[in-house]
Structure 1
Amino acid sequence: MQIVYPPANYQTQSARIFILGTALPNGEVRVNGQVVSRSKAGHFAPSFALDVGLNVFRVSWQDIEQVIQITRLDATLVPAKAPSLLPESMVPVEPLACLPDEVICFSVIGTPGARVRVLIGGQIVTLAETDYHTQLPANQSLLTNQNQPRQLSQPGLYQGWTRFHKPEQLGQPRYQLEWQEQQITHLGQAAIEVLDPAQLSAVAVTAWQADARTGPGTDYARLTPLPQRTQATVTGRSGSWLRLDYGGWLSASHAQPLSLKLLPSPASVRSVACTERSGWTDVILPLTVPVPISVRQEADRFWLTLHNTVVQTDLIRLSEQGWVQSLTWQQQPNQVECCLRLKSPQQWGYCLRYEGSSLVLSLRHPPDQTPLIMLDPGHGGEASGARGLNGLPEKDLTLSLAQQVQERLLAAGLRVSLTRQADVSLSLQERTQLIESQLPSLCLSLHYNALPDDGDAEHTQGLSAFWYHPQSLELARFLLCSLLERLNRQSHGLYWGNFALTRPSVCPAVLLELGFLINPEEFEWIVEPQTQTQVAQALADAIVQWLHTA
């Protein structure tokens, strides 16, 4: 008998856990005396509820028994004694800078039933007590259909807010709790500053394509990356993150201060030209300042928004037989929206860069007679990926499949490149750099699936496809539907997915999950030698067919 998951002395905040493993088909596998169902090959994946604290599971088969200890962690913070405040619960957590009249929020966990207030900048901010808070589950919860908001109990949670009307160095807030005629005070760690709108600093982007976010941290959604040399005014800070004047947030590590305090605003754009080169159309927009940008795609339309910009355009030059059919613009408050209508509803890739202060938008043409297909076998080396119920690592399956697909695509007359040809470690950054340097016509990242701890491994099967840029949606849909029909498998869904291997914009890029390694029946199907052959042929055929029809 072999237990693959969970590992020894495992800890989780999940309310459930699955136990994954295998044993010879004869006899019964029991967990705490309860017989669990198994596949024909003897694999099992039952789920069990977890109590807060230590949970012990005895897994037995014939005369073999393994003891699994799992600790469910309690996410509720409880003050050790009364009266008390928990310093680690104080919000804001990191140094904060904002503009006058913006809302500043405070919260802390302390002894229930007390009076709590914050002293800062000459103000007294009373915090109201509540005994619960609303939590949004992690993004992965969508895979288990458990993505609804949760009302979580949190005794002694105090919250409040205030505003400051003028620039000021407010310093660190003091949290004060009164309980049964006793009073305690804790100094918060996060210093707060209200910025002077007339003395804001400006920065330039130093990274080649800097991640812009909707908030100050990597758990916030991505916006259009900012090309190197982009300039913007800083209107706020949170820890090591900068809020830029157009609304996006940027890590300070990707920016350098400019000597001037405020940028000339707004920037101007005048004449616009489209030029053709082999495989690409370049749209060149001369600007007085390299401004933040946003991109939107839809069928044969490509929208480019120039923030902090005003139009002074009287002439736009298009190529007679070019990829861009028309270019129109619309001035909106603080920004210009340019709409490019392309020759085809299928877009094949784009990239953006600044040359001096001129923005160059490069739009890719359809591939030539011998498209280059890049296949990315997921994981590799020390990154084993998910494991099957007998311990088989995902990295071995993805490499074998990619090599078989490569063989069939070469036979069909296509060019093929693999991100790895052997069991070697390859970072996500190295994989995306290969895409950007080799410029394939399309890229497929091949994977096999698993679930978070609260998933139902025993009853979850299916294939799924993930896309990020709209130019990849129809490819993802076509491949998934083709595989489901050819292989007679269940669908686990078509997803918009913010993954490293779906984010490259230079070509349509799709990530495929080709079944669940942790489901007993589907794992048996996956490891059948004839299955790998069938999947490889079905995928190669679907790629060729899509290229002919796109």
Structure 2
Amino acid sequence: MTTRTPARSLLALALLAACGGPPPPAPVPPPAVGPETSTLRPGEAPRIRNLLPPVPAGTGTLRIQVMYPGENAALTAADSNFIFGNVGTGGASLTINGAAVDVAANGAFLGFVPVPADGVYRLRARAGGQAAEMERRVRVPGGRGGGRTSAGIVGGSVLPRGTITAMEGEAVTVHFRGSPGAQARIVFPGGSSVPLVERRTVERDEGFMQDRTSVPREFTEYAGSFALSQPLAARDTAMRAPTLAGSGGRAGTAMIEYVLDGRTVREPLELSAAVLRAGETRTGVAASARPDGMVIGTALPGSGTPYHWSFPNGTRFTITGEREGAYRVRLSGDQSVWVPVGDVRLEPAGAPAVTGTVGAVRLDPAPGWIDVRLSTSDRLPFEVRAEDDALTISVYGAESRTNWLHYGHADPLVRRAEWNQPRDDLYTLRLELAEPVWGWRTFWDESGALVVRVRRPPHIDPRMPMRALRIAIDAGHPPGGAIGPTGLTEAEANLAISKHLVRMLREAGAEVLETRPDAQAVDLGARPLRATVEDAHLLVSVHNNAFPDGVNPWENNGTTVFYNQPQSLDLARHMQAEILAEIGLRDLGIARADLALTRPTWMPSVLTETMFLMIPQQEAALRDPAVHERIAAAHLRAIRAFLEGRAGR
């Protein structure tokens, strides 16, 4: 798991697989609290075997301890949510706000109950002649965006706000939520206005194990677009000014005018906007302080957007706008990407847009890789995409001068290299390989040439496939991580499993790199970077899971494995199959996800999520050294199966 508490999972995606076979009978609706296994959904095949040991019995003093939610925690679910902890002894009974909640043999409990309207969970436990009570107060979510103004605008819902720079005439969309039936418009400095049209509001919760929509009845949305033609100033003087200085004019503040039942309210559009006129683009240079020296590009601005592009420091950009702390970088005539403002050094105004050529291409074989060197006239933005047995390098803003494409001395890895100019501002080079892609890295060399270092697959002995390979094992967390009802932390469980796996790998002849060899916290970004720098052939990150608020843990717990790069897909499939066979929980499927430990391109890498710590039986199993051994053995079998498959290619 990638968070400190279950309600803040950073995992972006989980696949809840439907299996074949005849559909079971329609299930009885599940109770507010669940047993150790869940009711099957219609069409779901009964593949949950649950091969875990039963919860061991424990006795002690009756006392109630709530592990989640914490006191005064802000919940993100308004209807039902989980609450878990322990009562210190088995054989106890427990109610939460009057609903009976099962207590496991060791005293652990997990309930999925309605969120109390007053924000108070009232817990009452009994064991023998003893009784215990406690209250846990939480903050219950209300309407999104806060309260309303006197005329019914939802406070804080007026968007966009902050700093933007855009090209002259570019559309800017303004929207806010408010009571239905009003008339609304944007009023600009000078008196011109644009109407805002009322439309239905749809709220969507997306994320790990979530894809829910709702239509609020109390509020509706008002939205409209205008063409940016003049600078705007926010009334909030603390707001950052645009860093891309457009041509000017005096900036004034636009207002939102909202009329409902004869009452008029005006709110400022807190937007600090600058305008770039035609031909007024800016240029910048990638200058990230990240340990890997990469500037990350995303399809949308703002935090939480999946990584997609990685530009080495020194890459030059043509910048056409800014928003939400990011610059918009033009890749080609119809494609842009967003990069963090703090990772770019602006060049002086008037510097020309970034364009160039690609000249000679040379393949330089070396013992562990082949360097593909593209002689570019400038350090242009680029992208590398992998297929099963091919790599495509796209250089943006480039025209071809490639007359010489040197293969170097004969090398069996590259079957064919071919360049193409599909558009005036896009150059592509495709490498067809004799073996599936294992990994690659990119950098600019001292001459300014773009180097794509294509890694050779390691030699794999079919009889001892792990012999002489360097395998990185990452025991997930700390910092962060999930916690169980009796206080077991995910970091403890992950490390215990990893230690067994490290021993098994070494016994199988592998050289093992431990990214977290002990209980000390290791920075998240340092883990994959170390695996890359030390040339690990595989990276496996061992985790256990937790849910965000609002997800019923009894119905949705299970096993999943995450990957990101194409060369990691087969390893993820083997991991999922072996862990399911060993543990027997629900198959949540594999998923492609943007996670720090699955992003590396230099080697296949996966992140496993074997169990959910909040489930009492699963937390108890994660305290058992015999279960640690079993989970590690499943990981070992998956690694062996993946390598044996590659040995025959």
In the alignment, which residue of structure 2 is the partner of 1:411? 507
Change (3 A) 1:119 1:460: closer
Matching residue within 156, 161, 166 for 1:88: 156
2:372–2:452 Cα contact (<8 Å) kept? yes
Indicate the SS of the match to 2:488. coil
1:349 corresponds, among 439, 442, 464, to 439
Residue 27 of structure 1 deviates from its aligned partner by 3.3
Q: CA RMSD in A?
A: 2.4
Select 1:30's aligned residue among 91, 95, 99.
Answer: 95
Give CA deviations for 1:117-167 in whole Å, capped at 9, x if unaligned.
Answer: 21226531111234x422331322xx2xx3144333452632111224687
Larger displacement relative to structure 2 (296-305 or 216-225): 216-225
Query: Residues of 1 paired with 2:636 and 2:510: CA distance?
Result: 10
SS at match of 2:620: helix
Give unpaired runs (5+ residues) of structure 2. Answer: 1-62, 231-246, 460-466
TM, length-normalised to structure 1:
0.92
Alignment partner of 1:312 is 2:408: no
Pick the aligned partner of 2:267 from 165, 186, 200.
186
Contact 1:233 1:262 in 2 (8 A): no
Q: How far apart are the structure 2 equivalents of 1:518 and 1:134? A: 31
CA distance in 1, matches of 2:362, 2:581: 46
Post-superposition offset of 1:493: 1.6
Alignment of 1:101-120 (within 5 A): 101-110=169-178, 112-120=180-188
Verify: 1:472 aligned to 2:568, yes or no: yes
Partner residue, 2:302: 217
Cα deviation, residue 200, structure 1: 1.4
Q: Greater CA deviation, 471-480 or 94-103? A: 94-103
Does the residue aligned with 2:608 lie in a helix, a strand or coil?
A: strand
2:211 matched to which residue of 1?
Answer: 147
Residue 543 in structure 1 maps to residue 639 in structure 2: yes
Residue from 338, 342, 348 that aligns with 1:259: 348
Q: Which residue of 2 aligns with 1:235?
A: 320
Q: Which residue is 2:201 aligned to?
A: 133
Kindly provide the amino acid, as one letter, of the partner of residue 198 in structure 2: E
Report the alpha carbon displacement of residue 111 of structure 1 after superposing the two structures with TM: 5.9
Please say if residues 94 and 123 of structure 2, whose CA atoms lie closer than 8 Å, have aligned partners that are also in contact: no
Verify the 8 A CA contact 1:367 1:441 in the aligned structure 2.
Answer: yes
Aligned residue in 2 for 1:278: 367
For residues 87 and 489 of structure 1, the distance between their equivalents in structure 2, rounded to whole angstroms, comes to 45
Aligned residue pairs, count: 542
- Residues of 2 paired with 1:228 and 1:154: CA distance? 49
Provide the C-alpha distance between the structure 2 equivalents of 1:259 and 1:408, rounded to a whole number of angstroms: 57
Q: Is the 8 A contact 2:440 2:454 kept in 1?
A: yes
Q: 1:280 to 1:222 in 2, by over 3 A?
A: same
Measured at CA, do residues 282 and 31 of structure 1 come closer, stay the same or move farther in structure 2, by a change above 3 Å? Answer: same
Give SS of 1:423's match: coil
Structure 2 equivalent of residue 365 of structure 1: 456
Using the alignment, how far apart are the partners of 1:3 and 1:510 within structure 2?
A: 33
Mapped partners of 1:340, 1:252: distance in 2: 34
**Whole-angstrom CA distance in 1 between matches of 2:226 and 2:218:** 23
Note if 1:70 corresponds to 2:138: yes
- State the partner residue of 1:6: 69
**2:528 paired with 1:429:** no
Measure the CA separation in 2 of the matches of 1:485 and 1:236.
Answer: 51
Q: Secondary structure at the match of 1:522?
A: helix
Structure 1: 5+ residue stretches without partners: none
Q: 1:223 to 1:27 in 2, by over 3 A?
A: closer
Q: Residue 20 of structure 1 corresponds to which residue in structure 2?
A: 84
Contact in 2 for aligned 1:378/1:398 (Cα 8 Å): yes
Alignment of 1:165-180 (within 5 A): 171-179=252-260
Moved over 6 A (4+): none
Aligned to 1:376: 474
Partners of 2:559 and 2:179 lie apart in 1 by 49
TM-score, structure 2 length as denominator? 0.79
Higher RCO, Cα 8 Å, sep 6+: 2
User: Aligned letter for 1:299?
Assistant: D
